[in-house]
Each structure stands twice: as structure tokens, then as C-alpha cells.
Amino acid sequence: MMGFAILVLFQLVGWLIQHLTGLPLPANVIGLMLFILALFLKWVPLQQVEGAASFLLKYMSLFFVPVIVGSLAFFPYLREHWAVFASSGVVSLLLPLLVTGWLVQSRLQARRNRPREEDAHVHRG
């Protein structure tokens, strides 16, 4: 229960900051950023929140069932514009998937090869 209270507290703080400052970020994301900071600074001990957090994350999909059900009202809109959503959705899934995969792999490989490059540099020098 303590863990759940801590999570709700950060949600509340995020919400307060968002309302008071008008920061262009979702309130929950402000709360999340502060929570990560608090974990790294050891203000919040991990074992105190771990139980509540893993429960919420494990069953998170249950919590957006009502949101998905709420999309019922948008079915006519979706039917009208499905081609736009489908093309945008497919491209914006595949493009970042491949770009990210290639980028991370090539940067990891470049780093693995770097010691040898430095050797070559010394020899050339």
C-alpha cells in the first residue's frame, strides 16, 4: 500500500506542477520524470515501490480496456479515414523500427572496432 501511495503522490505532484506552470508535458510524464530522479537519488527505496509497480505494469492493459471501448464512438470517423491512418501507421512503425535497429547495431559495432582503429592510428603516427 505504501508503494501505491508513493506512486499516487508523484502523480499528484506532476499534476500540480503541470497546472501551476502550464508546462507543455502530460502531468503523468512530469510525475514519472520526478519519480525516476527520486529513485536515482535514493529518496525512494526501490523495494518500497517494487511490488505496487510490478502489479500495475503487469495488468496495465486492463486499465485501458475502457479507453479502447470508448473508441466505439470514433468508428465512423475511422471508417472514413482508414486509408490515412493505415498508411501513416504502417510507415511510422517500419521506418523507425529499421532505422533504430541499424543505428544501434552500427554504433555498437563501431565501438567494438574502435580500439583497433586507435592502434592503426598510433602505427600511422
- Among positions 31-70, residues that touch other proteins (CB under 8 A) are 31-33, 35-36, 39-40, 46, 49-50, 52-54, 56-57, 60-70
Q: How far apart are CA 28 and CA 8, in angstroms?
A: 10
- Does the protein bind other proteins through residue 22 (CB under 8 A)? no
* Contact flag: residue 26 with other proteins (CB under 8 A): yes
CA angle 50, 20, 1 (to 5 degrees): 20
Among residues 19, 21, 82, 100, the one that binds other proteins under rule CB under 8 A? 100
Select 66 or 125, whichever has its Cβ closest to other proteins.
Answer: 66
Cα–Cα distance measured from residue 81 to residue 74, given in angstroms and rounded to the nearest whole number: 11
